Structure 1
Amino acid sequence: MSRTASLTSQAGSPEANRRALWWPGLALAVVGAAAATAVAVAARAVGASLEIAGEPTPLPDFAQLGFVCSVVGVVLAAACRRWAGRPARAFVRVTVPLVVLSFLPDLLIGDVDAATRVTLVLTHVAAAAIVVPGIRSRLR
């Protein structure tokens, strides 16, 4: 078998399809984390304190949490791909409620001004707006 034919047959294999989710998913996680951080930087630039209980939230925390939660999304996508009959649909049905639930700590935390509270929620939305559709498109 020629090298080209071998590569072509491998590209359509189930293993290649599984791998095709991980690297793009991690790349989307990085971009989602950057988007969350960009929202925080923009909010701080227009005057949001981003203080929780009187302590400023470091900007790297937005990137770290955005990345970790996005990687959880990639793991969920892998589970949907493995066990769901319609993985893209299952992924969206799982992740959208999880994103909404992720707002609860930001909404329930005490001693936070309104601008900070809105910024915290928007960081979740920014990351999810990149990661969820990007991963969903890999599940078709």
Structure 2
Amino acid sequence: MATSPDAAPHRPWSGRPLWQVGLAAALAAAAASVLVYGAARAAGVPMELTEIFDNEFARMPVTNMAFGALLDGGAAGTALAYACRRWARRPRRLFMAVAMTGLIASFSLPITSDASTATKVVLAISHVVVAAIIVPALALALPRVATLGDDAVRN
């Protein structure tokens, strides 16, 4: 099938509602995050932290990795994408900028934790893996520029 050179390329996420894109990306990111955890444990990384207001180290449950990807990455990323689509003149660009700023800020949690260096590295890697899955999927679902039919265009 031939397409004209002016035709827009087909993007798998472009026709889907943002919530579907966010959910699919978050589920994939949660699975990837669990794989990172499993690989770290297999490599001997303790994955131990102290809980808030607790002085004893305990192994971080694998469910924390999955829920972190689903809630922090998926839900927050999708909400940010909705806000960018609603109010930004360049939704995709703003979303990418804020998401990357959020990723950088998220490194403060593993860095400042009292975990071992290996655990901190694994946690930081998991943040990158989750962002590498969720951010591009949501970014591709957003328009580059707000169109006349969008609520984002103002008088």
Q: What interval of TM-score do these two structures reach, taking the shorter chain for normalisation?
A: 0.7 to 0.9
Residue aligning to 1:38: 35
Residue aligning to 1:96: 100
Residue aligning to 1:137: 140
Aligned equivalents of 2:139, 2:67: Cα separation in 1: 22
Q: In the alignment, is residue 60 of structure 1 matched against residue 63 of structure 2?
A: yes
**TM-score, reference length from structure 2:** 0.76
Tell whether the 8 Å contact from 2:15 to 2:141 is kept in structure 1 after alignment. no
Aligned equivalents of 1:64, 1:43: Cα separation in 2: 18
Two-structure CA RMSD over aligned residues (Å): 1.4
> Which segment drifts farther, 89-98 or 30-39?
30-39
Tell whether the 8 Å contact from 1:35 to 1:126 is kept in structure 2 after alignment. yes
Q: Residues 60-116 of structure 1, C-alpha deviation per residue, up to 9 Å, x if partnerless?
A: 110011100121100000000010011000100111010110110110112x11110
Query: Which structure 2 segments of 5+ residues have no match?
Result: 1-13, 51-56, 144-155
Tell whether the 8 Å contact from 1:106 to 1:121 is kept in structure 2 after alignment. yes
Mapping of 1:1-140 within 5 angstroms?
20-53=17-50, 54-69=57-72, 70-110=74-114, 112-140=115-143
For 1:51, the aligned partner's letter is E
Aligned equivalents of 2:71, 2:137: Cα separation in 1: 16
Runs of 4+ deviating beyond 4 Å: none
**TM-score, reference length from structure 1:** 0.83
More helix by share: 1
Aligned equivalents of 1:136, 1:24: Cα separation in 2: 10
Tell whether the 8 Å contact from 1:77 to 1:139 is kept in structure 2 after alignment. yes
Question: What is the DSSP-based 3-state SS (H/G/I as helix, E as strand, rest coil) of the residue aligned with 1:55?
Answer: strand
Q: Residues 6-50 of structure 1, C-alpha deviation per residue, up to 9 Å, x if partnerless?
A: xxxxxxxxxxx8962111211111111111111111111111000
Aligned equivalents of 1:134, 1:32: Cα separation in 2: 11
Q: Aligned residues: percent identity?
A: 38
Aligned equivalents of 1:68, 1:82: Cα separation in 2: 21
